[in-house]
Amino acid sequence: MIRIILIGYMGAGKTTVGKALAAELGVTFYDLDWYITMRYRKSVPEIFAERGEEGFRDLEQRMLHEVAEFENVVVSCGGGTPCFFDNMDYMNSLADTIYLKAKPEVLAQHLRMGKGKRPLLEGKSPEELEDYIREMLVSREPFYNQAKHTIDVSLLDTESKIRDSVTLIREMLKI
């Protein structure tokens, strides 16, 4: 049975690497934010607006407990998921957890390349974005560093770099 959970800051490539890894392993891929959106038929920003962060984090924890119980899956979590409740301990108890670690400048570049809207990041200059990421990592990395495995992800701007990350994970987990 395969159960892998990818964690890391937004823009680390959790969804990109997760989809590629799941496809190569022949297992199902779940993005936790997408799962929440599908289950509740509302976007994460809409849920935040209605319930506030506390309400969202409670819902996120319940959905994590659902998805993390599935077998033969690769799950990518939101950047904040590991930082609340006992989520990190829970994920470690059920799955191979992998922290996709990247430098703030790489995360900023990934986020600039990405197509999705990130309300927290709108209107920030490249320098402001990197400073914001640096500050957030100070509070989040103590949680991320609890993952069973860590891989440094360089700029994931080509298919071969994505494949290299998948190969590294497979070798690390011996799958």
pLDDT tens digits along 130-141:
999 999 999 999
What is the per-residue pLDDT for 125? 86
Q: What is the pLDDT of residue 117?
A: 66
Quick check: 62 pLDDT over 90?
A: yes
Q: Do 133 and 104 meet the contact criterion of CB atoms below 8 Å apart?
A: yes
The edge-to-edge listing of strands for the beta sheet with 73-76 is 28-31, 73-76, 3-7, 96-101, 149-152
In the predicted structure, residue 155 carries a pLDDT above the cut 90: no
Assess whether pLDDT exceeds 90 at residue 118.
no
Extents of the domains making up the chain:
3-167
Q: Answer whether 16's CB lies under 8 Å from 116's CB.
A: no
Mean pLDDT score, 43-53: 92
CATH: 3.40.1190.20, 3.30.420.40, 3.30.365.10, 3.40.50.300. Which one for 3-167? Answer: 3.40.50.300
- Supply the pLDDT for residue 115: 60
Pairing of strands 149-152, 96-101: parallel
Tell me if the pTM is above 0.85: yes
Q: Are strands 73-76 and 3-7 parallel, antiparallel or unpaired?
A: parallel
pLDDT tens per residue across span 12-44:
999 999 999 999 999 999 999 999 999 999 999
The sign one gets for the Cα dihedral 133, 52, 118, 122 is negative
